[in-house]
Amino acid sequence: MCLQILPSKPNLNDGWMNGWMAMFASMSRGNIEWGDFFGGLGVSFGEQSLSLQTRKNLRSRHHIVRIKYKVIGGMKVEPAMRLVSKGLLIASALWSLGCCGWMAECHGDILVPGLSSRHPLKESQIGALLRSELRCAACHLQGDGEKDGEGGRVLEKSAPDLAGVGGRIDPEYLKRFLQSPSAVHPGTTMPDMLVSRSPADREAIATALTHFLVAQSQEMFQAEPVSSERIEEGSSLFHSVGCVACHEPKIALVQEVDEDDDEQVRKRDQSVAGPTRGISLEHLPGKYSKGSLSAFLYRPLKVRASGRMPDMKLTPAESEAIASYLIHQGDVATQGRIALTVQQELVESGKKYFEELNCAACHELPGIASAKKVAPIQTNTLSRGCVSNEPGKGPRFSVDQRQFAAIRASLPAEGDVNPKMELQNELDQIAMTLTAFNCIACHVRDSYGGVPEDRNLYFRGTEMNLGDDGRIPPPLTLLGAKLQPAWLKRVLFDGESVRPYITTRMPQYGSENLHHFTELVAQTDTLDGVELRTPSPESRSDEEKALERRLRPAAQELLGDKGLNCIACHNFNGKPSPLNKGIDLMTTRERLQPAWFDRFLRNPGAYRPRIIMPYSWPDGVAAYKNILDGDTELQIEAIWYYLSLGTSAADPSGIRRPEMKLSVADMVRTYRGRSGIAGFRGIAVGFPERLNYSFNAETGTLTGIWKGDYIRVDRGGQGSGNFNPAANPVTLAQDTSFIADLDPTAPWPLRPVMTKEAPANPNPLYPKNLGYQFRGYYLGELNNPTFMYSSGEIQIEDRSEVIVEDNRIMLQRRIAFQSPSDQSRWFRALTGDIAQGAPQVYVGKNMSLTVPVVQALLRVDPSVAESKELLLKLEIPQGSSQIELIYELQ
Amino acid sequence: MNCNKNRMYPSGNPWNSRAFWANVCSLWVASFWVVAALGGRIKAEEVGQRWGTELREREYYPIVNIPIPKELVIEAGAFEVLPDKRVAVATRHGEIYLISGLDEPKPNPSYHLFATGLDEIFGLSYRDGVFYVTQSCEVTRVIDSDQDGTADRFETLSDGWGYANYHEYAFGSKMDAAGNLFVTLGLSNSYDSFALFRGFVMHVSPSGTTSAFASGLRSPAGIGTDEHGALFYIESQGPWNCSCSLKAVSQGSFHGHPASFNWYPYAPELGPRPEQPKSGSRTIVERERVKQLVPYAVVFPYIRMGRSITGFTVNRTGGKFGPFENQLFLGDYTQSILMRATTEQVNGVWQGACYPFREGLSTGILNVEFTPEGNLLCGGTNRGWPVRGIKPFALERVEWNGKMPFEIERITVQPDGFKIAFTKSVEPSVGSKPENYRVTNFTHPYHAGYGGPEIQRSTPEVRTVELAEDCMSATISLDTMSRGFVYEFDLGLLRSQDGEELLHKNAYYTVNEIPNR
């Protein structure tokens, strides 16, 4: 919980030095109610996150909500989340009520999920929305002056694309559905087209239509068994990514409340108007195969372009898991589902019916035109029309009395020539849009919408300490004044998201369908605000430069843990917050408008009643008097400016660059990069046995050995991936290892040294001018690399492996030669403080080296006094030969 | 021109200037010593103004995010399309991924890790089962010899250059028809070449024979061919370069920054070292004296057209990407934008124009490539240097949705003016008036200072406009044409026949030569 941050700090009384304390200050002034504050924390997953002390402090002030799974529909109760189970069950009664029939008697099918949410529409507006969602205008002419769809600028709901329906949907289901749509799928907006026909006719026509529709598809429907493996994952996704905002949950999350809970809070939780109703998915097992439902869930807009069923940003694997979950019925699902054999005469008659019933008015199929439109809907004929119980030969929509009344209310009064203008302004159009797409199931806007209590527990997050803002989608109040227009489009149409910690996903409704919405909110949502200054990158005045010099360090201090500690709950520049990983602050300038930013910082609670973000400038007074002289305007401006600096803004105190340690698993690992231990053309090799060595490819030399962890690499900032051993290494010389001739009195040819004073390479061809050329490496068993290089005409392969003997771990290095003739080479095996040990064994600093029986010269290094070097003279015969060296760390 | 008044290039000792430090830390500039001196902190710098066209651009060229699995970090540095239509993505982390499914309507590509452990890859080419990888230390042939799907052989094809300083990046071209590769080698810092051939273009033959090809580079990025098959590379703003620019490379050519002259003794194939250019002059003057100096073909006015242009590619999608067939598309790191460029050869010298194309990418763009379906794949990272895009790394696909934007398609030079081609026909009543074509010009100083101003700005008079019969192009004549100047076009007053404004009203043509009548 967020309060972890507070009591764990011993210096509560030094509070004014701490940004958090500003929040307490404002609370004590009554800006935030404690109850609101803790109520906002919502769900606690068990007790793990609260220290004892904290719990004691909090007990009396807030309620801890616990959740528990219960499967609806008589299935066993499954405590999927093992949580403390004491207290009162509040919602279980509601659940059992919600599932029984009496509700249905009061209300018909839902038809439009948004109308089950807390929408702001008047009755006539509801009617207009229903007409748009039921698509009355597909058959009816519009009255004079009426706009298409009547939903104002909301595009009508469109019917599914039938092009592939035969492959997508079980023909048996199709037939049943065509006979009686709302009986098979309560809540469907598909009307009953055959209501006036006899039962026998209904079946015959439905059969013919089914054959016709199946014949439209290239692919045939194939039922397939659903394995139970993915079901649990599917259930988890279904109940968390947002499906239950519109659909009935299949698992009830039951809220338990501590006995010592605040009476007021309990009352609030109980004051639910009624259970939220979602579209049932009980028909799915008979309708889809696992594959066809997965494909639909992955790209719903492909079949249903109007976006009422939005794209939930599922991956194919996630789609399959949810599909498995939704159609799983034991083994029942696969029984009795035999592929339909299309009969041509039925196809012909089906086509005839398709035309006769004017299906093409809603479902476009190539080559079939829709019929001429019929007269506009009128109030006086409504009781005999397709939304009545006496539709005559027309279709019958399954609307209940309330819906009927709403539709009637939306029509012009009898004799009234002017159509009703229910959507007089942009605010109405926004409300209509948000209801049509049921955005209000998750989002609050102004006084409407928001997550209902009985769906609240399905909204979860991974950063629960952020409170409701860590799990409930953000309010849409003043949306157009908050977000940059380009960013709003990215969120709506490009799937952009900055809140990965919220489990519920922001769906994609299709840019065609919501295009108008971005314009509407831009028109209606405005905030007067200050100009926040950002020094211009070009032709800055001295005054601006001076301002910049003040703002930059001030903002860095304000953001950090020595200041307002914004980074306690915000990531920064792609680097995680040390505590709660909330929205990355560096997204601010890309997303937000300056006026909103300014107002929000001054009074976060005004925009988010339950936000845990502290008040840093309560009543406009800066909590930090020592930064920018406590000037509120300047402090806010400084932060705004700082966040414009992009990724070059230095990290505030408290943000740490994550360490990049590469580790070795069960295969040998090879990594190239700049390194102090192996030069710019360095290579690090790590073995599963936790022994590692480095190789300088520029000189062909083994340059270091270490036990333990492999390497750290610098991939932060401008880091080019340079590496360093992750444990203390034995470092060896990096000069070239092989030369053809050696004057015993002359020093070994050392690699050129560049210094800060003399940075240019004085010997740029070294060691190629000594015959050396690196040729690469290849990976062998366990990916162990063999380095390839040459010394003059001699081709060399150099491979090391780890050997373990009697708890001793050693590096065995084999150097193989391929030579066109007998040749000799000097090999510099070791340098430094070397002593001869056993025969063939030389002991250096922290390491011993066993060398082959060859001519060895242990001499004082002519170039470095008091240092020795071990040189081996290798007589390399024509053809293949090899030597072996063993390195052992001490 | 008085350099002293401009903060971008202080006279006297540049090391003492604060403005110098601010600039020296921008992309591809910060040397190790600078970073060390600042205690590892990179000084902040704004990324520049926006074009403000994102909302309109997206109506024609939407950007589709390519999802990257959570556990992967893909800081793309180079792309290559394989014969099997998979796309290979090579990264700053030294890995090569083979990706399939990039062009799906809702992409959910699969990522196959093909090779790992390499050193900052900025060049990738594939031929006959072998990847030719330009990594910082060398050009490597990367092979899957046992055909198990992952690389197991890393053969050094060329390491014929020094690599010893912080700033020394290497960008590699695609392989040409004969199997040759070209590698651009950045200087050791903005001012110096401390290691062999830093500041050179190297030619690597199919057998690995490596030779110096051209000199005078500063902080180069991508290298490749244009629509005509001519070789170009991208240079960054800095010393001897007042803006980023596209430069035409040929055997022995010199590209303006003399720090690399010290390696001519090691490159007898290039002949004698060029004359030392005079700081404070103009390229148009110095190219008469320094025979190898090639004037910068397309100048990208600094900040208005990018701050650190990186990779580029040619649109050969056969119309799949819209109206800009055969043009160069270039990514910018700092501003997370894409630009276009066109080139033409006049009197034997390359020159051309650049045009804004798309802003609002999510990260700093390091490279771009067209996918098999003709979408423009962009990738990169935002770490280390100031970048507008807010994602630490991203792969994005820019696609054409089939709607025709009203754009300046291409500008070409005429003996007394320019021919401006459009993507849609221009409203004749507007397009036939000279006053609706606002043209100014400027030049840059050619000098050792860091960056530089736009100077000698003037407004030539547009005397006549000749609108083509189909109104798809206009030929304008000016009262004067000056070599060595960048011509800046503001055609914001034009309208298409549907009454649309230009999606981007600006374009910039670099006149190195004027064709004869």
Cβ pair A650:B141 closer than 8 A: no
pLDDT digits (tens, 9 = 90+) for A669-689: 999 999 999 999 999 999 999
Length of chain B, in residues: 517
Question: Would you say residue B38 lies in a domain?
Answer: no
Report the pLDDT value the prediction gives residue A257, as an integer from 0 to 100: 53
pLDDT digits (tens, 9 = 90+) for A787-798: 999 999 999 999
A23: Cα separation from own chain's centroid: 30
How far apart CA A194 and CA A374 sit, in angstroms, is: 18
Contacts of B312 (CB under 8 A, 6+ apart): B222, B224, B232, B234, B246, B328, B329, B330, B331, B341, B368
User: CA of A514 to nearest chain B CA: how many angstroms apart?
Assistant: 14
- Kindly state the average pLDDT of the residues B211-224: 97
Question: Would you say residue B35 lies in a domain?
Answer: no
**Tokens linked to B451:** 């960056």
Cβ pair A759:B44 closer than 8 A: no
3-state SS assignment for residue A426: helix
Confidence bin at A715 (pLDDT 50/70/90): confident
Residues pairing with A592 in the sheet: A483
CB contacts under 8 A, B 84-113 vs A, are 92-94, 105-106, 108
Helix (H) or strand (E) holding A266: helix A263-270
Nearest to A760 among B140, B194, B386 (CB): B194
**Tokens linked to A657:** 């660059």
Question: For the structural domain made of A661-889, what CATH number should be given?
Answer: 2.70.98
CA angle A79, A80, A84 (to 5 degrees): 55
Residues in B closer than 8 angstroms to A509, CB to CB, are none
User: CA of A564 to nearest chain B CA: how many angstroms apart?
Assistant: 21
Q: Does residue B289 carry a pLDDT above 60?
A: yes
B195 touches A: beta carbon within 8 Å:
yes
- Nearest Cα neighbor of A190 from A325, A363, A356 is A363
> Which of A17-21, A778-782, B169-173, B455-459 has the least mean pLDDT?
A17-21
Question: Would you say residue B91 lies in a domain?
Answer: no
Contacts of B389 (CB under 8 A, 6+ apart): B336, B361, B362, B363, B364, B365, B382
pLDDT digits (tens, 9 = 90+) for A41-61: 333 333 333 333 333 333 333
Query: Could you give phi then psi for residue A436, rounded to 5 degrees?
Result: -60, -40
Look at strands A661-662 and A711-714 and give their pairing: antiparallel
- Nearest Cα neighbor of B466 from B416, B423, B510 is B416
- Kindly state the average pLDDT of the residues A255-260: 54
Residues pairing with B478 in the sheet: B462
Report the pLDDT value the prediction gives residue A420, as an integer from 0 to 100: 58
CA distances from B330 to A388, A594, B296, B310 (A): 62, 31, 16, 7
CB contacts under 8 A, B 384-403 vs A, are 384-388, 390-392
Cβ pair B153:A494 closer than 8 A: no
Q: Does residue A104 carry a pLDDT above 50?
A: no
Report the pLDDT value the prediction gives residue A285, as an integer from 0 to 100: 92
Q: Does residue A209 carry a pLDDT above 50?
A: yes
Task: Give percent of chain A with pLDDT exceeding 70.
Answer: 81
Look at strands B309-314 and B328-332 and give their pairing: antiparallel
CA distances from A203 to A17, A172, A185, A199, B467 (A): 78, 11, 17, 6, 68
**Tokens linked to B332:** 């910018």
- Kindly state the average pLDDT of the residues A626-634: 94
Length of chain A, in residues: 890
Type of residue at A750: L
Nearest to B266 among A495, A552, A764 (CB): A764
8 A C-beta contact, residue B338 and residue B331: yes
Residue B445 belongs to what domain range?
A: 408-511
- Kindly state the average pLDDT of the residues B295-307: 96
Question: Quick one: residue B194, left, alpha or beta (phi over 0 = left, psi -120 to 50 = alpha)?
Answer: alpha
8 A C-beta contact, residue A772 and residue A741: no
Q: For all residues of chain A together, what is the average pLDDT?
A: 83
How far apart CA A69 and CA A87 sit, in angstroms, is: 15
Q: Does residue A856 carry a pLDDT above 80?
A: yes
| A330 or A15, greater pLDDT | A330
Ranges of CATH 2.70.98 domains, chain A? 661-889
- Nearest Cα neighbor of A119 from A109, A107, A129 is A129
Count of domains forming chain B: 1
Task: Give percent of chain B with pLDDT exceeding 90.
Answer: 88
- Give CA torsion, residues A849, A855, A861, A862, to 10 deg: -170
User: CA of B454 to nearest chain A CA: how many angstroms apart?
Assistant: 12
How far apart CA A883 and CA A885 sit, in angstroms, is: 7
Residues in B closer than 8 angstroms to A489, CB to CB, are 55, 58
Look at strands B473-478 and B328-332 and give their pairing: unpaired
Confidence bin at B283 (pLDDT 50/70/90): very high
User: CA of A663 to nearest chain B CA: how many angstroms apart?
Assistant: 12
Contacts of A356 (CB under 8 A, 6+ apart): none
**Tokens linked to A103:** 């509700």
pLDDT digits (tens, 9 = 90+) for B408-441: 999 999 999 999 999 999 999 999 999 999 999 9
8 A C-beta contact, residue B104 and residue A298: no
Report the pLDDT value the prediction gives residue A274, as an integer from 0 to 100: 62
Report the pLDDT value the prediction gives residue A388, as an integer from 0 to 100: 85
The secondary structure of A357-396 as a DSSP string is: TTGGGTS-BTTBPPPPPBPPP-GGGGGGSTTSS--TTS-B
Mutation target to probe the A interface, by most A beta carbons within 10 A, among B21, B66, B390 is B390
User: CA of A523 to nearest chain B CA: how many angstroms apart?
Assistant: 16
B145 touches A: beta carbon within 8 Å:
yes
Helices (H), ranges, A422-500: 426-436, 479-482, 485-493
| Chain B residue nearest residue A549, CA to CA | B44
B35 touches A: beta carbon within 8 Å:
yes
The secondary structure of B113-134 as a DSSP string is: EEE-S-S-EEEEEEETTEEEEE
Size of interface A-B (CB pairs under 8 A): 188
How far apart CA B184 and CA A325 sit, in angstroms, is: 55
How far apart CA A386 and CA A495 sit, in angstroms, is: 39
Cβ pair A584:B390 closer than 8 A: yes
How far apart CA A362 and CA A823 sit, in angstroms, is: 88
User: CA of A301 to nearest chain B CA: how many angstroms apart?
Assistant: 11
| Chain A residue nearest residue B364, CA to CA | A647
| B18 or A439, greater pLDDT | A439
- Sheet architecture: strand order including B231-235: B223-225, B231-235, B244-248, B298-300
Nearest to A759 among B92, B192, B196 (CB): B192
Mutation target to probe the A interface, by most A beta carbons within 10 A, among B100, B156, B157, B264 is B156
- Sheet architecture: strand order including A772-779: A835-836, A841-844, A847-850, A879-889, A808-819, A794-805, A785-791, A772-779, B153-158, B138-143, B130-135, B121-127
B33 touches A: beta carbon within 8 Å:
yes
User: CA of A773 to nearest chain B CA: how many angstroms apart?
Assistant: 9
Cβ pair B65:A496 closer than 8 A: yes
Contacts of A372 (CB under 8 A, 6+ apart): none
**Tokens linked to A573:** 């520049």
Q: What is the ipTM of this complex?
A: 0.91
Contacts of A466 (CB under 8 A, 6+ apart): A2, A501, A569, A580, A582, A612
8 A C-beta contact, residue A595 and residue A485: no
Confidence bin at A107 (pLDDT 50/70/90): low
Residues pairing with A752 in the sheet: none
Confidence bin at B304 (pLDDT 50/70/90): very high
Nearest to B117 among A302, A489, A670 (CB): A670
How far apart CA A229 and CA A834 sit, in angstroms, is: 63
CB contacts under 8 A, B 303-332 vs A, are 303
Cβ pair B392:A778 closer than 8 A: no
How far apart CA A199 and CA B339 sit, in angstroms, is: 66
pLDDT digits (tens, 9 = 90+) for B249-266: 999 999 999 999 999 999
Residues in A closer than 8 angstroms to B192, CB to CB, are 759-760
Question: Quick one: residue A700, left, alpha or beta (phi over 0 = left, psi -120 to 50 = alpha)?
Answer: left
Confidence bin at B20 (pLDDT 50/70/90): very low
CA atoms within 13 A on the CB side of B210: 20
B159 touches A: beta carbon within 8 Å:
yes
Question: What's B503's domain CATH number?
Answer: 2.60.40.1220
Helix (H) or strand (E) holding A183: helix A181-184
> DSSP state, A492?
H
User: CA of B472 to nearest chain A CA: how many angstroms apart?
Assistant: 30
Question: Would you say residue B370 lies in a domain?
Answer: no
User: CA of A406 to nearest chain B CA: how many angstroms apart?
Assistant: 37
- Sheet architecture: strand order including B181-185: B170-172, B181-185, B201-204, B210-214
The secondary structure of A268-286, three-state, reads HHHCCCCCCCCECCCCHHH
Nearest to B164 among A511, A552, A754 (CB): A754
Peptide bond into A747 cis (omega under 30): no
Q: Does residue B284 carry a pLDDT above 80?
A: yes
The whole model's pTM is what?
0.85
How far apart CA A371 and CA A363 sit, in angstroms, is: 12
Question: Would you say residue B507 lies in a domain?
Answer: yes
B65 touches A: beta carbon within 8 Å:
yes
| A320 or A644, greater pLDDT | A320
